[in-house]
Amino acid sequence: MDNDKKTTVLTLTDEEIVNPGNRACSGCGLGIVYRTALKALGKDTVLAVPPSCLTVLQGLYPVASTKLPCVNVTFASTAAAATGVRAALRATGRDHLNVVAFAGDGGTGDIGIQALSGACERGEDIIYICYDNEAYMNTGVQRSGTTPKGVMTTTTPIKGKLQHKKDVPSIIAAHGIDYVATASAAYPLDLYDKVKKAASMKGGTRYIHVHTPCPSGWGFAPQYTVHIGKLGVTTGLFDLYEIVKGEFSLTGESAKRVGKERTPVEEYFKTQRRFRSLSQELTDEMQGMIDAKWANYTA
């Protein structure tokens, strides 16, 4: 992405496609992600959305907060629904529109992974954006496949989650699709450029996985959404990268960290109540995993 012209806060469009007064919680990371991604997609876009916090953000009948056509679909079917939208747009001569699936981590990596894998294997002409808030937030913070190890959720209430986070973007990348990227709610400009790039690569499947802090689910005061999202990246826990036709590269803040010191991951854990029961042993284990991962990154 370094060869492309990067968007700055001054060049970022001030057109808003999401209306204020929506039902998202105060300080919602998804609010930043959704608002920014839709700026990049523009109005020639059709959305497919499964049940998730986004359903709530979008509003209840008969008023919608989003100025885009959107089909709400069943939990497991988002990528297949996006496939259907694309097929119908081709059949009705409107193939120029973006077709975008927008789902949470459960709707993507757990219940929705079969339809998503099918769509990726077929190379469907869709953009799939997963906002990963690392648990089932809309139903009240139950563990998901992408909940990190040790995290307290309402279904891991005493011992914390016993398994590590599922690496969904790597699973998707293994399908060999044209574009896979990660992004963070704390770096909206990086996210914006990735969504723009995805939109420009029409023809194949494009996937963007966005780390999305959640004040109520993670246990922090709402003003820290961006601060904590940044810590997720500067500690090296969640990396910003893209895989363009198989070529991996770190981007933005993660690219800047290669060969430099990273914030200890403990600093990140300390900011959130969901990590309150994390043992020193597990903290060390996680730090070790991050260090091992970063040992493989070269400038």
Partner 1 sequence: MHVIESGNVAAATGVKLARVQVIAAYPITPQTPLTEKLSEFVESDELSAEYIPVESEHSAMAVCIASSTTGARSFTATSANGLLYMNEQLHWAAGARLPIVMCVANRGVGAPWTVWNDHQDTVSQRDLGWIQLYCSDHQQIHDTVLKAFKLAETVSIPVMVCYDGYLLSHTYMPFDVPEQAQVDAFLPPFKPTHFLNPEEPRNFNTVTLPDVRPDLHGNTAPGYMEIRKTLHSDLRAALTEIEKIDGEFGEAFGRGGDPFVEPYRCEDADYVAFCMGSLSYQLRDVVDAMREEGTKIGVIGLKVYRPFPDAAVRDALTAHKGVIVFEKALSYGNQGALYADVKSALYSAETRPFVHNYIVGLGGREIKTHHLYDALTESIKNEAAIGDEPQWVGLKL
Partner 2 sequence: MSKEEFCSMISVSEPGPGDGGNTGSWRVVRPVIDLEKCIPAKTGKPSCFNCWLYCPDAVVTKTLPPTIDYTYCKGCGICAEECPAGAITMVDEASFTKEEK
Judged by the rule CB under 8 A, the positions of this chain that interact with partner 1 are 43-46, 48, 55-56, 58-64, 66-74, 76-77, 79-85, 87-92, 97, 114-115, 117-118, 121-122
The candidate with the shortest Cα–Cα distance to 129, out of 104, 102, 105, 109, is 102
**Least spacing, CB of residue 26 vs partner 2, in Å:** 4
Furthest C-alpha separation in the chain: 59
- Is there binding between residue 60 and partner 2 (CB under 8 A)? yes
- Is there binding between residue 170 and partner 2 (CB under 8 A)? no
Instruction: Assign 21 to helix, strand or coil.
Output: coil
Residue 5: other Cβ atoms inside 10 A: 8
For residue 93, the partner it binds in partner 1, partner 2, none, with Cβ less than 5 to 8 A by kind, is: none
**The token pair that represents 162 in the structure block:** 């016993």
**Helix (H) or strand (E) run with residue 226 in it:** helix 225-234
Q: Where are the alpha helices (DSSP H) in 184-264?
A: 188-200, 215-218, 225-234, 252-257
For residue 31, the partner it binds in partner 1, partner 2, none, with Cβ less than 5 to 8 A by kind, is: partner 2
Query: Distance between CA 61 and CA 70 in Å, rounded?
Result: 13
- Is there binding between residue 162 and partner 2 (CB under 8 A)? no
**Least spacing, CB of residue 113 vs partner 1, in Å:** 11
Query: Distance between CA 53 and CA 49 in Å, rounded?
Result: 10
- Is there binding between residue 67 and partner 2 (CB under 8 A)? yes
Query: Distance between CA 102 and CA 47 in Å, rounded?
Result: 7
**Helix (H) or strand (E) run with residue 36 in it:** helix 29-41
Of 31 and 104, the one with the shorter C-beta distance to partner 2 is 31
| Among the listed residues 87, 97, 189, 282, the single contact to partner 2 using CB under 8 A | 189
Of 35 and 206, the one with the shorter C-beta distance to partner 2 is 35
For residue 85, the partner it binds in partner 1, partner 2, none, with Cβ less than 5 to 8 A by kind, is: partner 1
Of 215 and 236, the one with the shorter C-beta distance to partner 2 is 215
Residue 232: other Cβ atoms inside 10 A: 24
**Helix (H) or strand (E) run with residue 182 in it:** strand 179-184
**Least spacing, CB of residue 169 vs partner 1, in Å:** 20
For residue 19, the partner it binds in partner 2, partner 1, none, with Cβ less than 5 to 8 A by kind, is: partner 2
Strand partners, 136: 142
DSSP state of 181: E
**Helix (H) or strand (E) run with residue 211 in it:** strand 206-211
For residue 188, the partner it binds in partner 2, partner 1, none, with Cβ less than 5 to 8 A by kind, is: partner 2
**Least spacing, CB of residue 10 vs partner 1, in Å:** 27
Strand partners, 127: 100, 206
- Is there binding between residue 289 and partner 2 (CB under 8 A)? no
- Is there binding between residue 59 and partner 2 (CB under 8 A)? yes
Query: Distance between CA 245 and CA 37 in Å, rounded?
Result: 21
- Is there binding between residue 65 and partner 2 (CB under 8 A)? yes
Q: Are 141 and 153 in contact (CB under 8 A)?
A: yes
**Least spacing, CB of residue 103 vs partner 1, in Å:** 13
Contact letters for partner 2, residues 215-234 (x by CB under 8 A): x-----xxxxxxx-------
Q: Say how many residues touch partner 2, by CB under 8 A.
A: 41
Binding site for partner 2 (CB under 8 A): 9-10, 12, 14, 16, 18-32, 35, 59-68, 188-189, 215, 221-227
